[in-house]
């Protein structure tokens, strides 16, 4: 039996060719003599993200909104699906499939969140860390997007619970996060994916990024 790195869009074709889904491992697999083994890469388990700072932001839950000028520019969109699958599953597995902010054990799935360092002087938005979050913590992190949904009260209560915030402390946290976000919206950021490219992954299609910093 071999685990394969099969892109999401190929899942139906792979299934028709004999690929099976391991619900516990969240991976596709097949027998070693299956033709799929010559079509897709064997799933890697020895990934290292070179230069990542896993202490960045600690494991605190905080609102961390992406500037408008950087919308849709992330690891998932810049790198190919197979590489993103390898990276995010590596993130989940290294923390035993637990949310790094609240400690919640993965039931259905976790989500990978990118933490960035912003340098206004150089106008550089540098990827520093990728962290595993449960859906609720990830929704709280992307507060601006989540605010348009009906479960904003649940998100507010979650932020208060995890951070032991009072209502006033929550309001101040939200106001500060929006002030930072509005200021960052004024800058057209150069994105630095160096921790990913230096780890052996190639950018698929993005011109305005620093690949080797």
Residue 44 confidence (pLDDT): 62
CA nearest neighbour of 73 among 114, 133, 121, 18 = 114
CA nearest neighbour of 7 among 74, 79, 91, 92 = 79
pTM: 0.78
Residue 107 confidence (pLDDT): 59
Residue 201 confidence (pLDDT): 83
DSSP the chain: -EEE---GGGHHHHHHTT-EEETTTTEEEE-TTSTHHHHSPBPP-----TT--TTTTTT-----PPPGGGTT-SHHHHS-HHHHHHHHHHHHHHTTTB-TTT-PBPSS--EEEEEEEEETTTTEEEEEEEEEE-HHHHHHHTHHHHTTSTTHHHHHHHHHHHHT--HHHHHHHHHHHHHHHHHHTTS-PEEE-HHHHTTTPPPSS-SSEES--
Residue 108 confidence (pLDDT): 63
Q: How far apart are CA 21 and CA 3, in angstroms?
A: 9
Residue 175 CB coordination number (10 Å)? 10
Residue 25 confidence (pLDDT): 67
> Cβ(133)–Cβ(100) under 8 Å?
yes
> Cβ(162)–Cβ(154) under 8 Å?
no
Q: How far apart are CA 30 and CA 21, in angstroms?
A: 9
How would you classify the pairing of strands 209-210 and 190-192?
parallel
Per-residue pLDDT of the chain (213 residues; tens, 9 = 90+): 777 777 777 878 888 888 888 877 677 778 877 887 777 766 666 678 999 999 999 999 999 999 999 998 888 888 877 788 888 888 998 999 999 999 988 656 799 999 999 999 999 999 999 999 999 999 999 998 776 666 899 999 999 999 999 999 999 999 999 999 999 999 999 999 999 999 988 887 654 444 333
């Amino acid at each position: 039996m071999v685990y394969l790195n099969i892109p999401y869009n190929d899942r139906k074709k792979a299934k028709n060719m004999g690929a099976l889904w391991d619900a516990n491992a969240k991976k596709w697999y097949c027998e070693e003599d299956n033709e799929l083994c010559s079509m897709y890469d064997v799933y890697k388990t020895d990934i290292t993200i070179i230069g990542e700072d896993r202490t960045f932001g600690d494991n605190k839950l905080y609102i961390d909104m992406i500037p408008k000028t950087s919308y849709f520019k992330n690891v998932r969109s810049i790198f190919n699906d197979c590489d993103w699958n390898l990276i995010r599953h590596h993130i989940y597995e290294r923390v035993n499939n637990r949310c790094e902010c609240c400690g919640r054990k993965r039931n259905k799935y976790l989500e990978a969140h990118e933490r960035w360092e912003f340098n206004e002087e150089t106008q550089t938005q540098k990827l520093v860390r990728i962290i595993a979050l449960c859906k609720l913590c990830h929704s709280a992190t992307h507060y601006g997007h989540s605010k348009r949904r009906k479960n904003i009260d649940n998100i507010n209560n979650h932020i208060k619970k995890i951070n032991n915030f009072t209502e006033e402390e929550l309001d101040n946290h939200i106001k500060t996060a929006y002030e930072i976000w509005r200021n960052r919206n004024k800058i057209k950021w150069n994105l630095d994916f160096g921790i990913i490219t230096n780890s052996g992954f190639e950018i698929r299609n993005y011109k305005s990024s620093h690949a080797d910093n």
